[in-house]
Amino acid sequence: MSCCCGSSLTNFERFLQRITPVVPSKTVSQNCISDLNALWQPLGKDTVEYFTLKDLWDCYKEWSAFGAGTNVMLESGDETVMQFFVPYLSSIHIYSDKSVVASRNRREEGDGVEFESDSWSDDSGSDNLSQSLSNNSSKSWDAVSEESCDQDGSWPRRDRLGYHYLQYTEMSSPYQRVPLVEKIAELARSHPALMTLKSVDLSPASWMAVAWYPIYAIPSVKNEKDLETCFLTYHTLSSSFQDNMKEYEDIELGKGICCCGGGAAQKELVGEKMTSGGGWMSVPPFGAAAYKMQGDIWVNPDSCDSERLTYLYSAADSWLRQLNLHHHDFNFFTSHSSL
C-alpha cells in the first residue's frame, strides 16, 4: 500500500496508534517449540519472539474500564477533543497444537482454575468455520475442514492448521455486550488455556476482532455526528505473522505515518509493564471497518486516510473469505458503511 501523508498524524492514524496493544515479549529457541508449531514459524531464525495471551488481555483492562482516549481534531481545525472508545470482543478463533493446549490447561488447573479436562469435540465432520453461535456462547472444535482453509492453495491443509480450540462470535447488540476483558474472563472459565497460551503456540489462522464503540468526549461536543463513528479492528494472535507485521509497521513509521500503530509513543506506554531488559511487541490491526462515518473528521481529504481505510477493509474482507467465515459485526459494519 502506498502512502502519501506527511509527518503529522491524522485523527484516524492517532486512533490506530492508540488502540494498538503493546505487550511485553520474550524469545524462545526454535528447538523448544513442538514439531507442529515449528511449521508455523518463519524459516531461518534460531529464536522466535512471542507474547502471552494473558499479557495481551491485560492491555485491554484500562480500556475496558474507562475507554481508550484518542485526540481528535474537529473539522473546524481549531478545537481538539479527547474521544473515548470501549473495546468489545467481536470474534476470536484459536488454533493450536492439541498437546500444547492440554499442557496449558493443566498449568491453569494447577493455579486453582476449574475446567473440563477433556473439552475436545470429535466433530470432525464440520464442513466450515462459519457456524452461527448463539449470544454469549462458544464452541470447541477438534479439527478444521480442508474445504474451509485450503481454498486456492491459500491455506495449509488441516493437519498443519492445528486444532480449533476456541470459536466465539458476538451476536448481541452493542447495548447488551460486556467489555472485552469481562468477555475473555467468561470464555476462560470453559477454555482456561485462553489465559496461558503464547503467541508462539498458535497457528497463523488464530485471530480476533475488536469492536470499538464511542462513549464520551472531553470536553463534551454537541451535534458532532462524526464522533459517533464505530470501528472494527482485526488482529493476528500468532507469532508467525508478527515479524511480517513488525516489518510493515517499521516501514510506515520510517515515513512518519504510523499506519498500523506502534512507534516511540507506544514503547513509552508499555514501559511501565516491562521488567528490566525486557522486550516489547505491538499487535497492530491488519484489517478494519467503520460505520457512522460522516464528514472529514476521520478521513482527512488531504491525507491517504481513505486509501488506508479501504486497504484495511479489503484485508479484513479477504481474511474472512479465505476462512469462509461470516462475521456478524463485519456484515453489519459493511451494510452501514459509507465507503
Q: What is the mean pLDDT of each run of 10 residues along the chain (339 residues)?
A: 58 96 84 58 69 97 97 83 97 86 65 34 30 30 32 47 89 94 97 93 93 94 81 93 50 33 42 54 94 85 90 96 92 81
Question: Residue 211 falls within a domain, yes or no?
Answer: yes
Question: Residue 294 falls within a domain, yes or no?
Answer: yes
Using a 10 angstrom Cβ sphere, with 0-12 exposed, 13-18 middle and 19 or more buried, the burial of residue 186 is middle
Beta-carbon contacts of residue 307 (< 8 Å; ≥ 6 apart) = 1, 2, 3, 4
Question: Residue 6 falls within a domain, yes or no?
Answer: no
Give CA–CA dist 48/39, Å, rounded. Answer: 12
Number of domains in the chain: 1
Question: Residue 1 falls within a domain, yes or no?
Answer: no
Query: What's the confidence (pLDDT) of residue 113?
Result: 37
Query: What's the confidence (pLDDT) of residue 329?
Result: 97
Query: What's the confidence (pLDDT) of residue 296?
Result: 82
Question: Residue 304 falls within a domain, yes or no?
Answer: yes
Question: Residue 86 falls within a domain, yes or no?
Answer: yes
The residue behind cell 453461535 is 133
Query: What's the confidence (pLDDT) of residue 262?
Result: 37
Question: Residue 3 falls within a domain, yes or no?
Answer: no
Owning domain of residue 97? 11-335
Query: What's the confidence (pLDDT) of residue 159?
Result: 52
Do 1 and 312 contact (CB within 8 A), yes or no?
no
Amino acid occupying residue 335 = S
Helix (H) or strand (E) holding 160: helix 158-161
Query: What's the confidence (pLDDT) of residue 100?
Result: 74
Query: What's the confidence (pLDDT) of residue 190?
Result: 94
Beta-carbon contacts of residue 67 (< 8 Å; ≥ 6 apart) = 84, 85, 86, 215, 216
Neighbours of 326 (CB within 10 A): 14
Query: What's the confidence (pLDDT) of residue 36?
Result: 55
Question: Residue 5 falls within a domain, yes or no?
Answer: no
